[in-house]
Amino acid sequence: MAFKSRVSDAVVRRLPMYYRHLRELEKAGVVRISSQELGERMNLTASQIRQDINCFGGFGQQGYGYHVSNLKERIGAILGLQHAYHVIVIGAGNIGRAIANYAGFEREGFHIQAMFDVSSALVGVDVHGILVQPMEKLEGWLSAHAVDIAVLAVPAAVAQPIADALVAGGVRGIWNFAPVDLTLPQGVAVNNVHLSDSLHILSYRMNEKDLFAELHAGRDA
């Protein structure tokens, strides 16, 4: 039987937000916070805060609220941030290089260890201390190294076969920047990041007011 999470995708998407806000509060010296205060900070209702957190157990105290450091640590553990992850990047183009150059991933426990590309112009290039290797060396690397996560920053046409090879090599999670949704076997986690989707949502938000004004005008005509 396929595993189905008892926690909704919407709640999971909010967990990193909780972690980020709680970390900022901890740095600011805040010791405790109520669900109302946290909700105001995150533009959520107090009820939504409590519902989300209660999916993983009751971490607050009646009349006290949440202990900021404890809740941050608990949510970090729920997110699996107590582990160190070995990461490789497939595709040394603009997106792949930007990811490899971002020092924040290392601080979060995501350690980029290798990069691969098919382009002879990119093979051998140093990206944040990592030499880009040719794709033909990928299978050997997977055989010799434990890889938890692969960042896939390749064209759509080759994304699925590369993902299949990564899964065959033992990769358990794929952060996919290719403009295609991957089909992967049960037990392999994937997060499809479609950059154009984010821009489309931003465009909608910018035009939402005019859109509904036109709709109302049409109904009143």
**Span 46-87, pLDDT tens digits:** 999 999 998 887 676 666 789 999 999 999 999 999 999 999
33 is written with which tokens? Answer: 């916070």
Beta-carbon contacts of 41 under 8 Å, excluding residues fewer than 6 positions away, are 21
pTM above 0.75, yes or no: yes
* Number of Cα atoms under 13 Å in the Cβ half of residue 53: 30
pLDDT band at 221 (very low <50, low <70, confident <90, very high): low
- Give the per-residue pLDDT at 220: 61
Residue pLDDT, tens place only, 152-192: 999 999 999 999 999 999 999 999 999 999 999 999 999 99
Q: Is position 221 within any domain?
A: no
Range name among 9-18, 92-101, 155-164, 200-209 with the lowest pLDDT average: 200-209
The verdict on 124 and 52 lying in the same domain is no
- Give the per-residue pLDDT at 62: 66
Query: Any idea what the Cα angle at residue 196 is, between residues 132 and 131, rounded to 5°?
Result: 5
Own/partner pairs, 177-185, CB within 8 angstroms, 24+ separation: 177/91, 177/95, 177/151, 177/152, 177/153, 178/152, 178/153, 178/154, 180/156, 182/152
Q: Evaluate the CA torsion angle 50, 53, 58, 61 in order and state its sign.
A: negative
The verdict on 68 and 116 lying in the same domain is no
The CATH number linked to 53 is 1.10.10.10
The CATH number linked to 160 is 3.40.50.720
- State how far the Cα of 71 lies from the Cα of 66, in Å rounded to an integer: 7
Q: Is position 212 within any domain?
A: no
Q: Is position 1 within any domain?
A: no
Structurally, how many domains does the chain consist of?
2
Helix or strand holding residue 13 (H, E):
helix 9-27
CB atoms within 10 A of CB 130: 18
The verdict on 96 and 175 lying in the same domain is yes
Domain of 31 in residue numbering reads as 9-78
Residue pLDDT, tens place only, 115-158: 999 999 999 999 999 999 999 999 999 999 999 999 999 999 99
